[in-house]
Structure 1
């Protein structure tokens, strides 16, 4: 087998003939420098892909390798054009647009390793990063004090830190304790008052708590005075001592002459507070006897005499119920009895002002519909014109003075409408009397026409009796 050898001269001749037949205007693989572009037009007939054909074989091979390297360089530079610097033809760095590096997966804020190593778990098991104090569930031990620390102070090891509350002066005491007592009149929880006072540093003003509470109660209702007596009893032993209570009542007796100016009945009320305190055991039984022959003020003497009389009374009076029970805390049966007693006293005296004062002292504005109900029942059961007129006058007076509201008045009449059938069993003329009372109430402006239209009438009247021979029966009321 013979090998065919081609000489360089014949190869060059063939390339020259091919170039003459196929002229090339521009070569994509050629790369012109700045000097070559500015120079005269050069001939490219003797060049193939940047390689001169007149060169020897080794030169042609070297030119091909350079052309291949140029193509790789241009390809890599175009791929990395947005990442930073690129290399020129001669290997020099060309400064390009610098772009921030991105992760292999083009994800922002990717905390995984860029090297592709690891299992994708967070760093330090989730204990690293800003604002992280350690892995979940990690418990730190007590750090031992380093004696060699330059900031170490031996005196700090025996220090005990506690909150110090400054003691209240007289002005701050009244501003701080007064809202507590007034709020107690609304909720009646002595434990809450004891907790609030325990957070204060009363100091020498501790004995002023009972006096301030009694002073506020003198201008309040009877139920508030009862709450005040219970508050003093519950605070004694927790926040106050018996000496504090005794000192407070001593100061009250000394200032009675000033309290009378605002509350004329202050001596009698303070005497009742003293009697209740002695009965509760927070004042000694010899407290009143210790003032015999030592009191010059007539108001203080009246208060002590009132307390002594109440303690010596033996007529079934219980000192614990001296102030009565608050309206909302009383049982319903007791309230109904007091309402009936109030109405009976009014029918005997005819004093509407006194009746108004008594109904206010009950302190049950939500229960005034019972008062209206019982008043109308008395009218139906009396069958007399006097009771009819007096009850109508009383309801009209209480309605105009706004003691009984529209809602309570309406509920009282509606309850009568619902129970009139049962009332008629005992009072046969109840329907007729109720119609007359409702008409008079509408004329007086106590109720409106809409409520009067709801008044029930007798459903069936028998005017002819079968056993009377057909005679008509007229009912006379």
Structure 2
């Protein structure tokens, strides 16, 4: 006990001095360790020297800096930060140091501008310029090593390569097929002018005629008009003659698909001579040197038609005007003739074929109207039954659509008052015909219910006071 007391009594000032010096050293270094109460001057019973204390302090500062740097990069500048000497400073914002944000940041680094993308969005790799920007003509630099004086007088044009034979048919055929729909020869001339036909120019008439042989009569009329309009502007007379020569040579092959090809080609030749796109001596040039029977038949047909022109035949309308190109009065006359021929022959298939050859599906309501009027004006039941059978067959085969059939019946309903003036029993016959049409499936119940009824006056019994009542039957 005395030893311990003497130990404490011998070294009280030294221990006090050491602790004071240690604390004062900490205050000189910034006082960062004052807040740490767990740091002692003695570790495991050993006294710390000044050098070991400084190393330990440096490690603690580095660790605190690493922790703060990690928190600042994650929290984007929020939280505590260290000053230059390692002190913790709260509330100071630290700029983000993420490399990814620097790569995606397109704002000005100098703190200027409005924060818009660089160059107004026209910058960047592989970008020609901002949208809608129009560049002016570039001036030629005479000092350029690649400068050539001949380039200033050059005229650049788009040149189409000549059309090859293998591509001719698949290029020109759609043009002709589309012409059959719109009938505009000027459009065909413009499309052919854009093509570099070259030596294939003379093949256009033969291709058009071969396509028309398998088409309708109205399409053949359009083909004759097309050849007349193309001659002189796109094609020459020599092209026409060489093309018809090719048609005459290919007649044995054309007959396989179109049995009447010789007569049709003969009509095309006669029409071409009449339109002055072939010379008058074209047919005579073949006399004595024709060995093919089909060629001879075509030339004979053309010669006969040209001789008939002296008697008043008009070759310019030999094919007939198809579809809506015909006058309305002409179509009405042809439909009346068709119905009269049907009443005499009773051939439903022939009547259907003739109606289809008129090529006026939008005007079939006129056919229905004329047929019903013929029934109203007829005497006896023969016309009544035959017209009913015809309309039933045309409706079943869809030769006449439901809309056209409805419009034909409605037109009769509208004109029945005028028809009744000439035919007193028109209302009664119409009611019977409408009922039979509904029973056979020609019309539906809506059209049947629209049928008008004629009102009649009759006096009732004396008990009603002689009142006149309007009734219908």
C-alpha distance in structure 2 between counterparts of 1:352 and 1:315, whole Å: 36
Change (3 A) 1:431 1:209: same
TM-superposed deviation, 1:457: 2.0
2:85 to 62, 85, 88: 88
1:372 to 352, 368, 372: 368
C-alpha distance in structure 2 between counterparts of 1:138 and 1:165, whole Å: 28
TM-superposed deviation, 1:247: 0.8
C-alpha distance in structure 1 between counterparts of 2:121 and 2:431, whole Å: 86
Question: Equivalent residue for 1:99?
Answer: 96
Matched, 1:393 2:392: no
Question: Equivalent residue for 2:275?
Answer: 280
Within a 5 Å distance, the mapping from 1:47-446 to structure 2 comes to 87-88=84-85, 99=96, 114=111, 140=136, 142-146=138-142, 148-153=143-148, 156=151, 160-313=155-308, 314-446=310-442
Q: Give the secondary-structure state (helix, strand or coil) at the position aligned to 2:415.
A: helix
CA RMSD of aligned residues (A): 4.0
Change (3 A) 1:447 1:463: farther
Q: Give the secondary-structure state (helix, strand or coil) at the position aligned to 2:140.
A: coil
C-alpha distance in structure 1 between counterparts of 2:358 and 2:112, whole Å: 87
C-alpha distance in structure 2 between counterparts of 1:445 and 1:137, whole Å: 68
TM-score w.r.t. the length of structure 1 is 0.70
Change (3 A) 1:446 1:133: closer
Q: What is the count of residue pairs matched by the alignment?
A: 387
Q: Give the secondary-structure state (helix, strand or coil) at the position aligned to 1:226.
A: helix
TM-superposed deviation, 1:211: 0.8
C-alpha distance in structure 1 between counterparts of 2:281 and 2:156, whole Å: 45
Worse overlay, 208-217 or 314-323: 314-323
C-alpha distance in structure 2 between counterparts of 1:128 and 1:180, whole Å: 45
TM-superposed deviation, 1:428: 0.6
TM-superposed deviation, 1:383: 2.1
Question: Equivalent residue for 1:58?
Answer: none
TM-superposed deviation, 1:275: 1.6
- Superposed CA deviations along residues 174-193 of structure 1, whole A, max 9, x for unmatched, are 11111111111112122222
- Superposed CA deviations along residues 354-376 of structure 1, whole A, max 9, x for unmatched, are 21121111101111111011011
Change (3 A) 1:192 1:34: same
C-alpha distance in structure 1 between counterparts of 2:77 and 2:440, whole Å: 98
TM-superposed deviation, 1:171: 2.2
TM-superposed deviation, 1:97: 6.0
Change (3 A) 1:239 1:82: same
C-alpha distance in structure 2 between counterparts of 1:180 and 1:232, whole Å: 14
Question: Equivalent residue for 1:471?
Answer: none
Change (3 A) 1:132 1:152: closer
C-alpha distance in structure 2 between counterparts of 1:437 and 1:36, whole Å: 117
C-alpha distance in structure 2 between counterparts of 1:402 and 1:115, whole Å: 78
C-alpha distance in structure 2 between counterparts of 1:123 and 1:319, whole Å: 76
TM-superposed deviation, 1:385: 2.5
C-alpha distance in structure 2 between counterparts of 1:114 and 1:278, whole Å: 87
C-alpha distance in structure 1 between counterparts of 2:239 and 2:341, whole Å: 44
TM-superposed deviation, 1:170: 2.3
Question: Equivalent residue for 1:24?
Answer: none
TM-superposed deviation, 1:377: 0.5
Q: Give the secondary-structure state (helix, strand or coil) at the position aligned to 1:323.
A: coil
Looking at secondary structure, tell me which structure has more helix per residue: 2
- Superposed CA deviations along residues 178-227 of structure 1, whole A, max 9, x for unmatched, are 11111111121222222222222222111111111111111111111111
Worse overlay, 242-251 or 31-40: 31-40
TM-superposed deviation, 1:392: 2.2
Worse overlay, 198-207 or 420-429: 198-207
- Superposed CA deviations along residues 215-274 of structure 1, whole A, max 9, x for unmatched, are 111111111111111111222223221111111111101111111111111111111111
TM-superposed deviation, 1:282: 1.2
C-alpha distance in structure 1 between counterparts of 2:82 and 2:189, whole Å: 79
TM-score w.r.t. the length of structure 2 is 0.70
- Superposed CA deviations along residues 126-171 of structure 1, whole A, max 9, x for unmatched, are 899666869x99984551332x433335665565543333322222
C-alpha distance in structure 1 between counterparts of 2:401 and 2:176, whole Å: 30
Is residue 106–residue 118 contact of structure 2 (8 Å, CA) maintained in 1?
no
Q: Give the secondary-structure state (helix, strand or coil) at the position aligned to 1:460.
A: strand
Change (3 A) 1:462 1:335: farther
